[in-house]
Amino acid sequence: MASLANEEVSFASLSDLIEKDTVLAGNILRVVNSALYGRRGTINSVRHAVPLLGVNKLRNTVLGMSIARMWARVKTPGGWSMKNFNMHSVAAAVLSDRLAQEIGVSYPEGAFISGLLHDLGRLLIAVALTSEHAEIARLYAANEGTLCECEREVLGFDHAEISATALAAWHLPMPIQVAVHYHHRPDDDPTLGAGNGAAELSRVVFAADNYVNFLGNCIQPKAADFDAVSQEHFFQMAGDSAESILRDFEAEYEAIEKFF
């Protein structure tokens, strides 16, 4: 990831790194040979695949696959579905990235990572605070408030805040931290209006998260009426580009979901 963040990195250097991880190398080849890219011939070389994907798409794919493998080793409590968590996270990431590229965001390269990690706090709470997580689930199922409200009642903070705190500890760029922190309440984003006409990243993640949940691709069933989701935020942001964005989203998500 450090190499991918370096704008001066060469495709040859990236290929050397990827080839050292046989699982990652195999998955990169499967992606580039998927229907998403529609190539007539089969790509058999990582060195050929890397420039075809491009640095941005490669960064997203490598990060998503690597984090999914890391999370697979985490012991989670009963009732938690790591599959649902991964599927929701990668769908929100792909849609956030596609939406950001189309409508104009001040930091578009952070959209995929923001979407991928926006609910990291939910996983951290489930793993590290199992009894509190159970109490939050009980309150939420009893319609005691939104998920974030139930979390704040039990913990004094919500999953968006702890997600952002974790990303700060990992030294991810500030725009990503802010987008994740405010993905449930983008109107409170302190960078609001500072993007010279560009949409804030928090609004992009908010819209993508809501749309993905609207499709039924959610971590847990929406037990509370307070957290009703809608597709309208996505369509408001996407405007006339909505159809093409969703077409590209479906193709890319289909190509990479199998790896999660």
| pLDDT tens per residue, range 73-101 | 888 888 888 888 988 999 999 999 999 98
Q: Residue 24: its pLDDT value, please?
A: 83
Q: Residue 155: its pLDDT value, please?
A: 97
For residues 226-251, average pLDDT: 87
Q: Residue 42: its pLDDT value, please?
A: 84
The Cα–Cα gap between 157 and 185 comes to 14
The rounded mean pLDDT for the chain is 85
- pLDDT tens figures, 12-66: 888 888 888 888 888 888 888 876 766 667 888 888 888 888 777 887 888 888 8
The Cα–Cα gap between 40 and 199 comes to 38
The Cα–Cα gap between 252 and 231 comes to 19
In this prediction, residue 2 has a pLDDT band, given cuts at 50, 70 and 90, of low
The Cα–Cα gap between 50 and 25 comes to 10
Q: Is 199 helix (H, G, I), strand (E, B) or coil?
A: strand
CATH class of 74-259: mainly alpha
Question: Which residue blocks in 33-117 are alpha helix, DSSP H?
Answer: 46-71, 82-103, 111-117
Q: Residue 179: its pLDDT value, please?
A: 95
Among 120-124, 173-177, 224-228, the range with the most confident prediction by mean pLDDT is 120-124
**Does 222 have pLDDT greater than 70?**
no
**How many CB atoms are closer than 10 A to CB 182?**
24
Residue span(s) of the chain under CATH 1.10.3210.10 come to: 74-259
More confident residue, 54 or 248: 248
- pLDDT tens figures, 10-22: 888 888 888 888 8
The Cα–Cα gap between 155 and 132 comes to 7
Q: Residue 120: its pLDDT value, please?
A: 95
